[in-house]
Homo-oligomer: A and B are copies of this chain.
Amino acid sequence: MDHLIEKTTQVKSVYKGKIIDLQIEEVELPNGGTSSREIVKHPGAVAVIAVTDDKKALMVRQYRKALEKTIVEIPAGKLEKGEDPLACAKRELLEETGYSCRQIEKVGSFYTSPGFADEIIHLYFSDSLTYEGEQQTDEDEFLDVLKLTMEDIRELTASEQIHDAKTMYAVMYLQLKYGR
């Protein structure tokens, strides 16, 4: 696959932010030509498909400024510097929903936007939850916790309130695991 590789000849930092950085990389193309790539650097994230004892999926309703829209997503959050993804998954689940989990398993990982960003999401599943108390979100984070049946999930998907890649992946995962 070496015939596809682009060699970096220069990296220019455009912006360093709270959550993302932006850099422009000048590259040498496989045919010897040149181009530039706009690349967003992100710390990576986790997300959790969490199912309660009464077989409802925990999700959160949250305003997403980038979309100017309130959507329903599975619990998720950014990795802190050096944080283990599994520990992060348990932490975000507890903070966002108030539930801890006794057992949790890795479903997989995926890059969200390989054309312009290095964000990776590590996805977990747990169906052994314990309610610990109220959510403890970040100071600039506001969300509603929802407990959803598959019927609720179908309706939220049809109305495009469930509308992001990780959550739509989670919905298919639940369909494959529990049937439609």
- A-to-B contact residues, CB < 8 Å: 1, 3-6, 8, 14-15, 17-20, 22, 24-25, 27, 29-31, 33, 35-40, 42, 45, 61-67, 70-71, 73, 78, 108-119, 121, 139-140, 142-144, 157, 160, 163-166, 168-169, 172-173, 175-176
* Chain B residue nearest to A144 in the complex (CB): B4
- Set of chain B residues within 8 Å of A114, measured between Cβ atoms: 64, 66-67, 71, 73, 164
Q: How far is the CA of A140 from the CA of B115 in the complex (A)?
A: 13
* Chain B residue nearest to A3 in the complex (CB): B142
* Chain B residue nearest to A31 in the complex (CB): B142
Q: Is the CB of B165 within 8 A of A112?
A: yes
Q: Is the CB of A4 within 8 A of B163?
A: no
Number of this chain's copies in the assembly equals 2
CB A61 to nearest CB in B, in angstroms, measures 7
* Chain B residue nearest to A24 in the complex (CB): B17
- Set of chain B residues within 8 Å of A113, measured between Cβ atoms: 42, 66, 112-113, 117, 119, 164-165
A-B contact pairs, 11 of them (CB 8 A): A4-B62, A4-B142, A4-B144, A14-B22, A18-B36, A71-B111, A110-B164, A112-B165, A114-B164, A165-B165, A169-B169
